[in-house]
Structure 1
Amino acid sequence: MSDHDIIVLGAGAAGMMCAAVAGQRGRRVLLADHADAPGKKILISGGGRCNFTNIHTAPDRYLSANPHFAKSALGRYGARDFLALVERYGIAWHEKTLGQLFCDGSAKQIVAMLVEECDKGCVTMALGQSVTDIGHGDGLYRVRLGDREHRAPALVLATGGPSIPKLGATGFAYDVARRFGLSIVQPRPALVPFTLGPEEALFQSLSGVSADVEVRWGKTRFREAALFTHRGLSGPAMLQISSYWQHRTAICVDFLPNRAAGWLIEAKRERPRVTLRKLLTEALPERLADALLSRLDMHGELGAQSDKVLRRMEAQIAAWPFTPSGTEGYAKAEVTVGGIATAGLSSRTMEAVKVPGLYAIGEAVDVTGWLGGYNFQWAWASGWAAGQAV
């Protein structure tokens, strides 16, 4: 005899969503977490205001070994569906750049909403209790929390990935998944600042300077702000490209993405006596302009330069290479790329294909969104899909 229909491990965004949906369908749900309060990662997100979704959510804004996997869940529970829930609770919100939706007030409102949704589903919460053992037999999953064993025919892994370990994040979900024969796509930090080596000390000296750039790696490109730090490169553009970047490869930065090809030659015709420094400081922070100029071999007025030299300057400014020495790792990563392989899961229900009753949702799965509310939307969508199915 089981004491629950479902045990959900992880009281974060995906876990609470799944528990609430299943509970409101009449399922007896136990929601467990080693943290003493639910939604800790939600509370620190978006500077404490929670960038809870993105109205431009689409499957092509997610990284996965199977780029089609996220389509089903995102298609059945979209940004508008979560926004409707937020509005039902009277939570005021606003749109920032690029479709990002934030609370006007505090991320605490989103956590409180999810807790109330769980209450409506009569979800039992077991917080501040670590899992000491997991087993399976006779069609039941056995989860030991402290000195008490709980049993249920369904187990949902919603404990996320190892990013932000100071909040207690670990690779726990991967360990459990492996125990039940699921494979793992090699996890790595994502949405994370880059570090630069000593050869780029010139740019590390620009700590605090930011500029609107386009950054490219392979065929992937992002146009947003970049920020120089004492350790390397950060800001939205760099965090975005970090999810795609592979070690020991270069990224290319276009410091003047608004300029059409030939802009320097045109400037020479219109303002032959102007210097490149003058043009760069008109468009970029002075410290950044001077750092670039110290690496560009050009002196004097534009009128004294050949078109060939000007084209070379343009090309350098438009594709400035940086080869990061690495990233700041899981400690500063907002999410994790990789995780439980989607090949072993149903895209409709999130259930393990060969392990009946075992589900994986949210960041624990090999589905990683762009910066800007996409990862929360995956948490809501995958949690909803599993909650409907368990």
Structure 2
Amino acid sequence: MKKFDVTIIGAGAAGMMCAIQAARRGRKVLLIDHAASAGDKIRISGGGKCNFTNLDIKYDKFISQNPRFMASCLSRYTQWDFIDWVESCGILYHEKTLGQLFCDNSSKDILAMLNQAMSDAGVVIELNTNVKSIKRSINFEIELNTSSINCDSLVIATGGKSIPKMGATSFGYKIAEQFGLTLTETRPGLVPLMFAQQELAPIKEMSGTSVQASVSCNKISFDEGLLFTHRGLSGPSILQISSYWQQGDEISVNLLRDNCILDALKIKRNKNGKQAIHNALNGLLPSAVSKFVTELANLNGNIGDQSDVSLIKLSDAIHNWKIKPVGSEGYRTAEVTLGGVNTDELNARSMECKSVKGLYFIGEVVDVTGWLGGYNFQWAWSSGWAAGQEV
């Protein structure tokens, strides 16, 4: 049986960060993963450019049953700490929008940085490795498909259930339950939304069309891009609101967030009365969307034929389109998993279980989920760093 000070299950962002920090403290660290390579989600993230953090990390941009739980980790290892590390490695990056930082070249730059740090610190990495069982007596005894491990500290960094084709499983939740920890309800987050056939038919006609929209649900709004697809609605604003949407909720969409259309419609009615209604909207909305909102308002004829009441109906169709999703695309395309290990079970400073000494949970497996835009990576770096100081 091999003996390690620390065993970390899950070679993603949080697991690698924890391994680096623990090994730098002189701990003998084993990092294992069932995948053939470490950091697969890092590799594909941000369209291959890795949105590795955000300039504007604030606690209200994270979702958890305990909205202050993440404060300790995020304040002790900040976005500025990670940016300093990136810069010290000569990795070029840029801000894309809303504080989102991406590599200029490739996400492989971040992976290379992490892999080099693990190598320098002496982390032992075993890939293509499956955990058969975990037991605890004085220490943790882990039965692998390749060997048996004994360790003082065990860190679960296995992520959530999102993107199963990348190897995501519910393993971390099962380990939590094995040791008597409670879970909060899990569901897909940052995911496209789907609709019943009646609503979907006109949406499919606009597939591939995008607009800058404001999308609201449950008193939360996001002003970002919206994309019509053959399956429903996607784009940043929809992905963001999906984390706040619950089954049965209606969402409200403002398709022209930067303009109040009513006054413009009245002017067009007076100046270009013979224009078809949807043509009067051209230049303000894509043609396909102009036709859609005209039909949504149930209007016919030219712009000059419309009463004030009709123009108000059209304005409302544009600025306050209400639609009820029937579901999401699920974990298959979800970027994150909402919910997870109940934060009441964990020490907010160390990420150690309160009831099981030496057992830690970090990253996405915990009930902390960030917004789109680098927030979930920062949670991975910060929670991994925090546990790495303690194991």
Interval of TM-score (by shorter of Structure 1 and Structure 2): over 0.9
Per-residue Cα deviation, 1:146-192 (whole angstroms, up to 9, x for no partner): 14111111110100001010111101000000111111111111111
User: Structure 1, residues 222-277: CA drift from partner, whole Å, max 9, x if none?
Assistant: 01111111111111111111111111221110011112375356535863626542
Structure 2 counterpart of 1:299? 300
TM normalised by structure 1 equals: 0.96
Kindly state the Cα deviation for residue 304 of structure 1 after the two structures are TM-superposed.
4.1
SS in 2 for 1:237: helix
How much has 1:76 moved relative to structure 2? 1.0
SS at match of 1:97: coil
Relative to structure 1, the CA distance from residue 286 to residue 262 in structure 2 (aligned partners, 3 Å threshold; closer, same or farther) is closer
Counterparts of 1:148-163 in structure 2 under 5 Å?
148-163=147-162
- Residues 352 and 359, structure 1, Cα contact 8 Å, conserved in 2: yes
Q: CA deviation at 1:303?
A: 4.8
Tell me which residue corresponds to 2:217: 217
1:311 shift after superposition = 2.4
Q: Which amino acid aligns with 2:369?
A: T
By how many angstroms is 1:297 displaced?
2.4
Q: Distance in 2 between matches of 1:101 and 1:166?
A: 26
CA distance in 1, matches of 2:96, 2:389: 31
Pairwise CA distance, 1:283: 1.1
Alpha-carbon distance between aligned partners in 2 of 1:262 and 1:293, rounded to the nearest angstrom = 14
Aligned-partner Cα distance in 2 for 1:275–1:45: 44
Whether 1:235 and 2:216 are equivalent positions in the alignment is no
Question: After the TM superposition, which of the residue ranges 296-305 and 182-191 deviates more from structure 2?
Answer: 296-305
8 Å CA contact retained: 1:59, 1:71: yes
Q: Aligned partners of 2:52, 2:280: CA distance in 1, in Å?
A: 40
In structure 2, relative to structure 1, the CA distance for the partners of 1:272 and 1:147 (3 Å cut) is: closer
- Could you tell which deviates more after superposition, 314-323 or 187-196? 314-323
CA contact (8 A) 2:205 2:288 kept: no
Match of 1:322 in 2: 323
Task: Indicate the larger mover: 269-278 or 173-182.
Answer: 269-278
Q: Which residue of 2 aligns with 1:171?
A: 170
Structure 1 residue 350 corresponds to structure 2 residue 336: no
Match of 2:28 in 1: 28
**Counterpart of 1:345 in structure 2: which amino acid?**
L
Q: Distance in 2 between matches of 1:125 and 1:270?
A: 72
Partner Cα distance (1:235, 1:279) in 2: 26
Please say if residues 183 and 341 of structure 1, whose CA atoms lie closer than 8 Å, have aligned partners that are also in contact: yes
> 8 Å contact 1:264–1:314 — kept in the other structure?
no
CA distance in 2, matches of 1:18, 1:263: 57
Distance 1:369 1:239 in 2: 12
Paired residue secondary structure (1:3): strand
Q: Which runs of 5 or more residues in structure 1 are unaligned?
A: none
What is residue 182 of structure 2 aligned with on the other side?
A: 183
**d(CA) in 2 for partners of 1:177, 1:166:** 23
Q: What is the SS of the residue equivalent to 1:5?
A: strand
- Equivalent residue letter for 1:374: Y
2:48 is equivalent to residue 48 of structure 1:
yes
TM-score (norm 2): 0.96
Structure 2 residue identity aligned to 1:334: E
Q: Distance in 1 between matches of 2:163 and 2:237?
A: 20
> 2: distance between equivalents of 1:109 and 1:310?
53
1:141 aligned partner: 140
Matched-pair contact (CA < 8 Å) for 1:264–1:310: no
Please list, as runs of the form range in 1=range in 2, the aligned pairs for 1:113-124 lying within 5 A after superposition: 113-124=113-124
**RMSD over aligned Cα, in angstroms?**
1.7
The aligned counterpart of 2:68 is 68
| Structure 2 counterpart of 1:132 | 132
- In structure 2, list runs of 5 or more residues that go unmatched: none
Residues 196 and 323 in structure 1, CA contact (< 8 A), matched pair in contact too: yes
Partners of 1:270 and 1:342 lie apart in 2 by 60
Change in CA separation of 1:285 and 1:272 when aligned onto 2, cut-off 3 Å = closer
The runs of 4+ residues in structure 1 deviating greater than 3 Å are 268-272, 299-306
| Kept in 2: contact 1:161–1:335 (CA 8 A) | yes
- Partners in 1 of 2:379 and 2:72 — Cα distance? 11
| C-alpha distance 197-144 of structure 1, shift in aligned 2 (>3 A) | same
Q: 2: distance between equivalents of 1:119 and 1:270?
A: 72
Q: CA deviation at 1:284?
A: 1.2
For 1:346 and 1:127, how far apart are their aligned partners in 2?
A: 29
The aligned counterpart of 1:267 is: 267
What one-letter code is carried by the residue in structure 1 that aligns with 2:124? T
The 2-side partners of 1:348 and 1:127 are apart by 29
Q: For 1:376, what is the secondary structure of its paired residue?
A: helix
Q: Report the CA distance between 1:310 and its aligned residue.
A: 2.3
Q: Secondary structure at the match of 1:283?
A: coil
Q: Distance in 2 between matches of 1:282 and 1:356?
A: 63
What's 1:366 paired with?
A: 367
Cα separation, 2, equivalents of 1:71 and 1:276 = 51
Letter in 1 for 2:147: R
Given that 2:153 and 2:359 are in contact with CA atoms closer than 8 Å, whether structure 1 keeps it comes out as yes
Cα offset, 1:196, TM superposition? 1.6
Amino acid at match of 1:193: P
State the distance in 2 between where 1:235 and 1:81 align. Answer: 30
How far is 1:85 from its partner?
A: 0.6
Q: Distance in 1 between matches of 2:313 and 2:359?
A: 58
1:308: which partner in 2? Answer: 309
- The aligned counterpart of 2:92 is 92
SS at match of 1:199: helix
Deviates most, 254-263 or 320-329: 254-263
Residue type of the alignment partner of 2:323: F
